[in-house]
Amino acid sequence: MKRSAVLLVSCPDAKGEVASISDFVYRHGGNILHADEHADGDSGLFLMRVEFDAKDFDIDLSQADLADFQKAFSAIAEQFHMTWRLALSSHRPRMIVFVSKYDHCLVDLLYRQRSGELACEIPLIVSNHADNQRVADFYQIPYAVVSITQDKKQAAEGRIRSLLEEHQADFMVLARYMQIFSSDFVNRYPQRIINIHHGFLPAFMGAKPYHQAFERGVKLIGATSHYVTEVLDDGPIIEQDVVRVSHRDTVEDLIRKGRDLEKVVLSRAVRWHVENRVLLYGNKTVVF
């Protein structure tokens, strides 16, 4: 297992930021493995991801709150007005997967996690249907069925919050979970809910995007993975991809081709989130 740490930084763009961060890592015994940065001209914002080997780092990174690192880094952070966080490669975040009846994205995520492609834990699967119990049993993962009706939605979300707390969820993935969370629920978990939308956003939002695409006679269909916000299908986009279709394709053909896209696009977004490669600014993301 790698003994590396990832420092994610966003702040107003100014001279000396890269040099100061690099010098800080060097002075404390770290060796930079990867460094990526982006300066957004429109917003004047600077974003950076630095991964460094922490084997000889002289600051204790074993504390849960990283208090020693925060104290040592505070002078640079205050000088450049930085918003930052540090993540350790040894930490395997706990991902709760939500699914309804369609199982293709769920099975793909479970396989990739089991094979080691996704460096996370999956302590629980939540669904509003019992259909995928057999999949959960095969992978030996607890499966909770929480039915949601319009008149009992608040109670259902309360039950889900209890499950998330019980299983110590770091983030959630909606793997074709055909339910819309309330604004109150979403706002409790900012940047911690990843969704896959079976359409190329911002086109064809909402229900049945493949049917909408077929009616418009499009030549490309797509899939979009994004962070969930209180506005439906409007959260910051992490990843997208497309596949070509033709006038010969039926709606069923579009759905079949789209399912392949959905799996790949969602798994990429989850992997980048787990590897701390995503930085948000406004309603956009930078993926390093």
Looking at the structure, tell me whether residues 42 and 183 fall in a common domain. no
**DSSP label at 147?**
-
Residue 104 pLDDT more than 60? yes
Percent of the chain with pLDDT over 90: 92
Instruction: Give phi and psi for 60, each to the nearest 5.
Output: -70, 120
Looking at the structure, tell me whether residues 104 and 145 fall in a common domain. yes
Looking at the structure, tell me whether residues 213 and 167 fall in a common domain. yes
Radius of gyration of the chain (CA): 21
Predicted local confidence at residue 2, as pLDDT:
67
Looking at the structure, tell me whether residues 37 and 135 fall in a common domain. no
Amino acid at 63: Q
**pLDDT tens column, 174-194:** 999 999 999 999 999 999 999
Of how many residues is the chain composed?
Answer: 288
CATH at residue 49: 3.30.70.260
Looking at the structure, tell me whether residues 146 and 18 fall in a common domain. no
**pLDDT tens column, 200-224:** 999 988 889 999 999 999 999 999 9
Looking at the structure, tell me whether residues 119 and 19 fall in a common domain. no
Q: Is 74 helix (H, G, I), strand (E, B) or coil?
A: helix
Where helices occur in the chain by DSSP H, the ranges are 17-27, 67-79, 104-114, 133-139, 153-166, 183-188, 209-216, 251-274
Active site residues: 233
Task: Domain of residue 256: give its range.
Answer: 94-287
**Nearest one of 106, 107, 110, 5 to 58, comparing CA atoms:** 5
Domain boundary among 58, 88, 118: 88
Predicted local confidence at residue 146, as pLDDT:
97
**pLDDT tens column, 133-149:** 999 999 999 999 999 88
Specify the number of domains making up the chain: 2
Looking at the structure, tell me whether residues 221 and 255 fall in a common domain. yes
Looking at the structure, tell me whether residues 133 and 261 fall in a common domain. yes
CATH at residue 230: 3.40.50.170
**pLDDT tens column, 240-255:** 999 999 999 999 999 9
Tokens of 176: 């074709």
**pLDDT tens column, 150-176:** 889 999 999 999 999 999 999 999 999
Looking at the structure, tell me whether residues 101 and 16 fall in a common domain. no
Contact 185, 161 (CB under 8 A): yes
Give mean pLDDT, residues 104-122: 97
Map tokens 């002289």 to a residue.
58
Higher-pLDDT residue of 63, 125? 125
Count of alpha carbons within 13 angstroms of residue 4, beta-carbon side: 17
Residues 75, 71: Cα–Cα separation, whole Å: 8
Cβ burial, residue 16 (10 Å; 0-12/13-18/19+): exposed
Looking at the structure, tell me whether residues 140 and 101 fall in a common domain. yes
Residues 280, 283: Cα–Cα separation, whole Å: 7
Predicted local confidence at residue 63, as pLDDT:
85
Domain boundary among 88, 119, 147: 88
Looking at the structure, tell me whether residues 190 and 268 fall in a common domain. yes
Looking at the structure, tell me whether residues 22 and 101 fall in a common domain. no
Domain boundary among 60, 88, 116: 88
Contact 46, 22 (CB under 8 A): no
Residue 64 pLDDT more than 90? no
Residue 1 pLDDT more than 60? no
